[in-house]
Amino acid sequence: MNKPLIIGVAGGTASGKTSVSRILYDAFSDRTITLLRQDDYYNDQSHMTMEERIKTNYDHPLSMDNELLVTHLKKLMLGYSIEKPVYDYTQHTRSDVTEKIDPTKIIIVEGLFVLEDVKIRELLDIKIFVESDDDIRFIRRLLRDTTERGRTIDSVIAQYIESVKPMHQEFVEPTKKYADIIVPDGKTNAVALDLLITKINSILSA
Ligand SMILES: Nc1ncnc2c1ncn2[C@@H]1O[C@H](COP(=O)(O)OP(=O)(O)O)[C@@H](O)[C@H]1O
Ligand SMILES: O=c1ccn([C@@H]2O[C@H](COP(=O)(O)O)[C@@H](O)[C@H]2O)c(=O)[nH]1
């Protein structure tokens, strides 16, 4: 099998990384394609109490097991299957299950720090940064985390002020400079998405 095409999708929380990745995934669903979420590679915290887990700074790169992510990407590149961890946001740790992922022609890897970590960055053929205004991202996150991730309004606000915002400014926003393409407004930016799909098609048919 030829080396897979690896596409990295970075951006701040609720910028639209998953939405953009999903659109690209659907556009190439006639090929073999995998979508890996860096969130599944948060450190395993099963040995910690819930109180300790709540105190973790999930917006610092050190909260990620990027070593495992890189190992998994390299295995997929060599044609081996992996057992991907599955993260449980409500428990702030990995769940008991893993998901078997087989090697595919295209791999999309999306997450806050996929452009921040040089070892991940080096593996990417196309580097995308999804950008949305901070206030819009905060509103989206508030809605999402209270409906889908079991959080209270107060906890979302406190976490945003204490860690999400400062870590975004320190570790996520600066990685925009590594992107091949910056996609403002994410999934609603039809022109940028069309350009990306055309480029991916041209690489695949080369
Ligand atoms: N361009 C957009 N317009 C409106 N809502 C959006 C847009 N992009 C994302 N959303 C919504 O915002 C939330 C977070 O989007 P998501 O793609 O999961 O972001 P991320 O993966 O960067 O955290 C989701 O509920 C999603 O439906
Ligand atoms: O246990 C956890 C793990 C992560 N988070 C938050 O999730 C976002 C990253 O996910 P996005 O889909 O990119 O928004 C990150 O900002 C962490 O703060 C969490 O709260 N708890």
Residue nearest to atom 17 of ligand 2 (CA): 58
Flag whether pLDDT at 38 surpasses 80: yes
Q: What residue numbers does the annotated binding site for ATP cover?
A: 11-18
CATH topology of domain 5-205: Rossmann fold (3.40.50)
Flag whether pLDDT at 195 surpasses 90: yes
Flag whether pLDDT at 57 surpasses 70: yes
How close is the Cα of 39 to the center of ligand 2, in Å? 7
- Do the beta carbons of residue 187 and residue 193 sit within 8 Å? yes
Burial of 202 (0-12, 13-18, 19+ CB in 10 A): exposed
Q: Is 14 in the pocket of ligand 2 (CB under 6 A)?
A: yes
Distance CA 198, CA 186 (A): 17
pTM beyond 0.90: the answer is yes
pLDDT at site 206:
80
Q: Is 171 in the pocket of ligand 2 (CB under 6 A)?
A: no
Q: Which helix (H) or strand (E) holds 156?
A: helix 153-159
Rounded to 10 deg, the angle between the 190-205 and 17-27 helix axes is: 50
ipTM of the complex: 0.98
Per residue in 109-166, pLDDT tens? 999 999 999 999 999 999 999 999 999 999 999 999 999 989 999 999 999 999 999 9
Q: Is 58 in the pocket of ligand 2 (CB under 6 A)?
A: yes
Sign (positive or negative) of CA dihedral 51, 57, 62, 68: positive
Q: Is 41 in the pocket of ligand 2 (CB under 6 A)?
A: no
Q: Is 39 in the pocket of ligand 2 (CB under 6 A)?
A: yes
Among residues 43, 33, 23, 8, which one has the least CA distance to residue 106? 33
Residue nearest to atom 10 of ligand 2 (CA): 13
Ligand 2 pocket: which of 43, 58, 153 to mutate (most atoms within 8 A of CB): 58
Ligand nearest to the CA of 142: 1
Whole-number average pLDDT of the chain:
96
- Do the beta carbons of residue 108 and residue 25 sit within 8 Å? yes
